[in-house]
Amino acid sequence: MTKTGRFATRRQMLAGTGALGVGIAFSGALSELFAGTAAARTLGHDGYGPLVPDPKGLLDLPEGFSYRVLSREGDPLRSGEGEVPSNHDGMSAFGGRGGRVHLVRNHENRADGKVPVPAIDGLTYDPAGKGGCTALTLDSRNRVLSERVAIAGTAVNCAGGPTPWGTWLTCEETEDKAGTAGYAKDHGFIFEVDPVDPRRTGAVPLTAMGRFQHEAIAVDPRLGVVYETEDAFQKPFGLFYRFLPDRPLGGRGSLRAGGRLQAMRVPGVPDLSSIQDIGAEFDRVEWVDVPDPQAAQTPIRLQDFGPKGITHAQKLEGCYWGGRSVYFVSSFARSAEGSAADHFGQVWRYDPDRRRLTLVIVFGPDTDIQKPGESPDNICLAPSGGLMVCEDGEGAQHVYGVTRRGEVYAMARNRQNIGTLEEPEWGEFAGVTFSPDGETMYVNCYRPGTTFAVTGPWRR
């Protein structure tokens, strides 16, 4: 059963306020995004102010903010293991001793990866895989102390997520099996990476968590349930999953003990894109056991879930835990590609205690033609009490901030032109995350692979 709340559209709010450009308030249910976060700090409708053009042509930031380039693809790894790999994607930051920060960074390389992750004995799953993760250790001033391979021989490592016990779960966004693209092993798994000592986790696929085109995960810190998104490229599109581990919250390596994989069914809703009303709620969400998590013969999204079917969504990407709920992102939906309806990005909230699913944000021109940004991808909580969202759309690429009052502002703009002067093109942002003390934002430019540390008056 769906309930539609009384929320004004962004176009109606724009007409009522006369607001222009960035800093236009979101619709009512946005406050749900920040359950359990720190109290909101004061940010104006322009956030930290307009972006200042970077004379070095790398990253535009508001006045008072600065960046340090931590790593760029093709440069030598400080470990001497080879070159910094291409396609910087999902990332997370973990606290260390003496104010140190450990970063784990995905590399979304396919079989033809430009700069592959170097194969290292004891850390390589499939020698034919070009993807994986690298790990950086930083001091309290964001100076790089070490940079090394954390896992290799995997494929299309897109996003993932941190665990409550301080490891990173890196996700393969592929369903390629052994014999495809030269691979020696099946791909499409999740792997656990220890940011301090990767050899403690090795290169072991967490097979019980499913074999599909993984995107991101979020762990319920109370129960240990792991939520997973699937970014399938063709119809039928991906599913939203939960993994019920046999050893919940058991610490590093515990997910290898197995568990049960289930997919979300919203009764009467075969495609989430058909829901367009912000605040729409569904109170009878069901979870259905996946018939074959290994997808030995048939991809999971094509398997038989019974006469009631299962709920699909196009471009399921970012995923995080906040308060007592899990949030997940659908970057876009296009009816021309098989979705039930069109949108330029949705954020959904699932409350497991109430089994309630709520649509809390809709992005893009259909919501407000002057709303900046489209195709939200990686997403994280910010020290201001709001969100940071990586844009993955057309044209200029930004990291956008969203305040607790529902106002959106540009936080960073990628200035690295990978096109031509006549037809410029800019790579997407990915992997936005903050240091444990909230003083530094780390973010990746996907292409050319670049990792930035951004500091400034975050608590202004």
**pLDDT exceeds 90 at position 395:** no
- Is residue 44 in some structural domain? yes
Q: Quote the CA–CA distance of 411 and 50 in Å, as a whole number.
A: 8
CA nearest neighbour of 362 among 401, 332, 386 = 332
Q: How many CA atoms lie within 13 A of 434 on its CB side?
A: 18
| The two three-digit tokens of residue 68, written as one number | 């340090």
Domain hosting residue 155, numbered range: 2-416+424-455
Residue with tokens 């930290």: 48
Average pLDDT in the 291-303 region?
Answer: 97
Q: Looking at residue 320, what is its pLDDT?
A: 87
- Is residue 460 in some structural domain? no
Query: Domain count of the chain?
Result: 1
Cβ neighbours around 297 below 10 Å, total: 8
- pLDDT, tens digit (0-9, with 9 covering 90-100), for 423-435: 988 888 999 999 9
Are 219 and 161 in contact, with CB atoms under 8 Å apart?
yes
Q: Quote the CA–CA distance of 146 and 92 in Å, as a whole number.
A: 16
**pLDDT exceeds 60 at position 26:** no
Under the banding of pLDDT at 50, 70 and 90, the label for residue 7 is very low
Q: With helix as H, strand as E and coil as C, how does 248-306 read?
A: CCCCCCHHHHCEEEEEEEECCECEHHHCCCCCCEECCCEEEECCCCCCCCCCHHHCCCC
Between 147-161, 244-258, 296-310, 353-367, the lowest mean confidence (pLDDT) is in 353-367
Average pLDDT in the 115-121 region?
Answer: 97
Between 216-230, 251-265, 339-353, the lowest mean confidence (pLDDT) is in 339-353
Under the banding of pLDDT at 50, 70 and 90, the label for residue 352 is very high
Q: What is the chain's percent helix, strand, coil content, to nearest 5? A: 10, 40, 55
Q: Quote the CA–CA distance of 367 and 379 in Å, as a whole number.
A: 20
Which range has highest mean pLDDT (31-45, 243-257, 354-368)? 243-257
**pLDDT exceeds 70 at position 367:** no
Q: For residue 126, what is the domain's CATH number?
A: 2.120.10.30
| The two three-digit tokens of residue 395, written as one number | 């044209």
Q: Looking at residue 384, what is its pLDDT?
A: 72
Between 182-196, 214-228, 311-325, the lowest mean confidence (pLDDT) is in 311-325
**pLDDT exceeds 70 at position 410:** yes
| Full-model pTM | 0.89
